[in-house]
A and B are shown apart, each in its own frame.
Chain A
């Protein structure tokens, strides 16, 4: 043990070490069964390949996981993000609607409401959902899981009300660009993730936001006694989380060109919580890692991809997913690793 160089040991102890190892292992499994896994080719000026596909498909989850990380860091949880996705999706789809109009032999796409306005409207509705959650948690002092459960249950009903119980299909070509388009060869959704990520990292590292969130998450009373307005902070963290869900809804709705109040963002909250946990942020609050949560989201998407590409029968793929998640969580458990290390040391001494 002593002969390992110091930087290597420091790397071992880095909080992102195990999430990265897990992701690398999953990629290797994919590569083993599909030698073309890492291939990337250019078709019509856009990048194609399994890796790009995974990144692209993970985009909504990555967005929501970023918002969820902050919520969890304040000792909270938000299980309403899936419902928020459904509501925002319903809003944007019904506001755009759209149809192909041919006038004087010229084809043009017409939306009910100008697209930017529709998107802003949908994001505003998402923000409203977050403000509601924040009000219940920070204002009324409800337990986060119960407070957000309310919207989780009600949300899909609200989405159905907006879409009148139908699946609303969007017929407005420019909107599809968000979820299916490419810019300089790279999927547009990844630009969105990058913008949110950079904005968030700047906020966390260039302002006191990161410090305050950690302080509130570790010891809310001491944070408040230090003059931090803990309640306002928690309130806005829920608002932010809902907005990330709203942005994710834009990508999802655009990708499937429709809004389905029942199924859009279904179980997304659980995947987001899982992504945050896999990324090394404790559900007990406090220290958190945004980048870790992104890696967590990628782990989940890579796993899903592997299950599909290995041809696991669809009826049991949830079981396989659960097993792998179980294994991953075991690998990342400090207690288990300490146990294994002791075992290895002992057998090493014996030899």
Chain B
């Protein structure tokens, strides 16, 4: 079969001050194929996409669409020639209606007015194609993140694209929704669309892609047929060194530190009317308690109650055996509890502040305004954690917003480790992070746990929860339905538990 590629990128180079982000990278997209772009954080995936969609101008190389040289200079231009993109972070307006979001910037006009009827009808059709049936006149913010993501995809599809780029579209979707998205992608494939799919999930890569291009450190490593590249080979090409996932899992699961006799944090009947039904949790020092459950089962809500963010109206919390009232994050921090939130960008980092300031922030907050850490000490602390956690940055004074996702997450971890916490709540600590950084972060978590930290671990990847947890509390529909010891659990047993609760 000699199908001509619809889009060819060749010899693409792009440098930012101090770093060469792309060095002679190539990429070919074929009509009717899903092409996975793989690589660790900082491999250059995002930059390559930005070059393709006109957000960044390449320093060298050429892009050909159907044989013709193109040089998009802005997203609108790329869209006009048939390259549509759905970005990792949802780029929509939460206060506008779903229909407005889908048609924003290109409202059809009838006479002197915007043709709302057409907009609503076509929005409904576009979403129906993705098997989503919602009231498109409601504001976007009234829907869960997953639906918002589908709206973003519907928006990209409705622009009559030839090439669709999906930059980590699934990081906030649960399995059902991913499957729905994949169905839609398969339909598009059949219509001959070329799809570029960026993800960190190996399962998804293999479930949908036909072809895989791997980047490493801004360089092109190779293009492979998905069927001809085993998972292990894929990981090894991405990482550039041998990681045996299976043995890694065995190793970490076998290690259990010395577990304290009494729980550090013990929640009893903790609940909040309308948000979370009363829940009992015991979290021990030296142990990882995983929260298992599907999207919307109450994982994040549980974490927020324990950190004093959300109001609780029933139950008690004991910290170190003492009954306490955690009604603000500040209180929780004073009791040695730390929290890495799910949404790194809006709840974690302070983007324009330096890495140093971000790292010492929680420690300084606990010390109060007047016991100011001298700059020199701040620098020592920051440098120590940058080295210890392997945060890749030229120096600690760089704004944290300029780091890659994985490094931001490590800096947030550093922020809490600097406060010497007794318990750490990690809500999706590996979301949007590449495999190597994921493994690194999990290893850091494990190491802290062995040192006697109590950890509450939340992840939508069940395999990850199973890998690190000593015990797993299973949640369903905003209540706890049971607890399993980590060594007895596998995905099947957890899913059976979730399914069994229905009967």
Binary per-residue interface labels of chain A (223-238) against chain B in the complex, 1 for a CB within 8 Å, 0 otherwise: 1111111000000000
Binary per-residue interface labels of chain A (201-224) against chain B in the complex, 1 for a CB within 8 Å, 0 otherwise: 000001111011011001101111
A226 near B365: Cβ-Cβ < 8 Å: yes
Tell whether A261 is near chain B: CB-to-CB under 8 Å. Answer: no
Selected contact of A215 from candidates B307, B329, B334, B350, CB within 8 Å: B350
B347 near A208: Cβ-Cβ < 8 Å: no
- Expressed in whole angstroms, the minimum distance between the Cβ of B12 and any Cβ of chain A is 24
Tell whether A156 is near chain B: CB-to-CB under 8 Å. Answer: no
Please classify the interface of chain A as helix (H, G, I), strand (E, B), loop, or mixed, using the class held by over half of its residues: helix
B372 near A207: Cβ-Cβ < 8 Å: yes
Tell whether B33 is near chain A: CB-to-CB under 8 Å. Answer: no
Tell whether A286 is near chain B: CB-to-CB under 8 Å. Answer: yes
- Most chain A CB atoms below 10 A, which of B307, B329, B332: B329
A219 near B341: Cβ-Cβ < 8 Å: no
Tell whether B20 is near chain A: CB-to-CB under 8 Å. Answer: no
Tell whether A57 is near chain B: CB-to-CB under 8 Å. Answer: no
Selected contact of A225 from candidates B348, B352, B368, CB within 8 Å: B348
Chain B residues near A214 (CB, 8 Å)? Answer: 350, 352-353, 357
When chains A and B are docked, how far (Å) is the Cα of A223 from the Cα of B328? 12
When chains A and B are docked, how far (Å) is the Cα of A326 from the Cα of B40? 48
Of all chain A residues, the one with the shortest Cβ separation from B364 is A208
Selected contact of A207 from candidates B328, B339, B366, B369, CB within 8 Å: B369
Tell whether A287 is near chain B: CB-to-CB under 8 Å. Answer: yes
Binary per-residue interface labels of chain B (357-373) against chain A in the complex, 1 for a CB within 8 Å, 0 otherwise: 10001101111111011
A226 near B353: Cβ-Cβ < 8 Å: no
Given A211-B357, A219-B346, A222-B350, A227 and B369 touching (CB < 8 A)? no
When chains A and B are docked, how far (Å) is the Cα of A206 from the Cα of B371? 9
Tell whether B349 is near chain A: CB-to-CB under 8 Å. Answer: yes
B352 near A229: Cβ-Cβ < 8 Å: no
A225 near B350: Cβ-Cβ < 8 Å: no
Of all chain B residues, the one with the shortest Cβ separation from A209 is B369
B333 near A222: Cβ-Cβ < 8 Å: no
A225 near B339: Cβ-Cβ < 8 Å: yes
Tell whether B330 is near chain A: CB-to-CB under 8 Å. Answer: yes
B352 near A222: Cβ-Cβ < 8 Å: no
A287 near B352: Cβ-Cβ < 8 Å: yes
B350 near A227: Cβ-Cβ < 8 Å: no
Interface residues on B, range: 20 to 34
Give how many A residues have a beta carbon under 8 Å from the other chain's beta carbons. 21
Tell whether B467 is near chain A: CB-to-CB under 8 Å. Answer: no
Given A208-B364, A212-B369, A215-B361, A224 and B329 touching (CB < 8 A)? yes
- Most chain B CB atoms below 10 A, which of A219, A224, A225, A287: A225
Chain A residues near B415 (CB, 8 Å)? Answer: 226
A211 near B361: Cβ-Cβ < 8 Å: yes
B361 near A228: Cβ-Cβ < 8 Å: yes
Selected contact of B329 from candidates A208, A227, A287, CB within 8 Å: A227
B352 near A208: Cβ-Cβ < 8 Å: no
A229 near B330: Cβ-Cβ < 8 Å: yes
When chains A and B are docked, how far (Å) is the Cα of A281 from the Cα of B365? 24
Given A226-B362, A227-B362, A219 and B309 touching (CB < 8 A)? no
A226 near B361: Cβ-Cβ < 8 Å: yes
B330 near A218: Cβ-Cβ < 8 Å: no
Chain B residues near A223 (CB, 8 Å)? Answer: 350, 361
When chains A and B are docked, how far (Å) is the Cα of A221 from the Cα of B348? 8
Tell whether B351 is near chain A: CB-to-CB under 8 Å. Answer: yes
B346 near A228: Cβ-Cβ < 8 Å: no
Contacting A at CB under 8 A, from B334-392, are 334, 339, 341, 346-353, 357, 361-362, 364-370, 372-373
B347 near A225: Cβ-Cβ < 8 Å: yes
Chain A residues near B332 (CB, 8 Å)? Answer: 227
Chain A residues near B370 (CB, 8 Å)? Answer: 207-208
Given A207-B372, A208-B372, A227 and B366 touching (CB < 8 A)? yes
In the complex, 15 of the A-B residue pairs with CB atoms within 8 angstroms, ordered by the A residue number, are A206-B372, A208-B368, A208-B370, A214-B352, A214-B357, A218-B350, A219-B350, A219-B351, A221-B346, A222-B348, A222-B349, A223-B361, A225-B307, A225-B347, A227-B330
10 nearest A-B residue pairs (beta carbon): A227-B333, A227-B365, A226-B362, A228-B365, A226-B361, A219-B350, A208-B364, A207-B372, A227-B330, A218-B350
Q: A209-B369, A218-B350, A228-B330 are in contact. List 7 more A-B contacts (CB 8 A).
A: A212-B365, A214-B353, A221-B346, A225-B307, A226-B415, A227-B362, A286-B352
